[in-house]
Amino acid sequence: MIDINYTLFVQLANFILLIIAMHFLLLKPMLRHMDERDGSIEDANLEAADTAKRAELLVTDYEAEMAYARVQANQVYQALQQEGMAEARSKVSAAKAEAQQAIEKAMAEVQGEAAKAREILKAEMAKLPGQIASKILGRAV
């Protein structure tokens, strides 16, 4: 059976002192550490959310700039393409005009050569009847 004597009170006082000492030495520092950890976790979460918002803003800004750059590049491309087409048309028309001049010059040369050939042939045809007659007759006519 349990005897109730002064040792029970000493053990009870010892237990209470140990609880109080443990409260100040272990429980309070541990609770303070957990509160600090919760605070740092909450701060990290807020910072992460803020960083995510900034990143999202940067992404939207980047996409807007890229869209603007695409529009500008497309406009420059169209302008260069039209400029190139106009230059190609002008070069083609210049080449056609040059070719036409070369054709006209060649036709004039051909007509001149044909006229010279006709003159030479006319001169030769005038001599031909005399040559034929002298060969047929066997003497100079």
- CA separation, residue 100 to residues 87, 96, 103, 105, 108 (Å): 20, 6, 5, 8, 12
* Residues 43-99 pLDDT 10s: 999 999 999 999 999 999 999 999 999 999 999 999 999 999 999 999 999 999 999
pLDDT for 53: 97
pLDDT in tens, 9-19: 899 999 999 99
* pTM listed for this prediction: 0.47
> Taking residues 38-46, what's their average pLDDT?
96
Q: What percent of the chain has pLDDT over 70?
A: 98
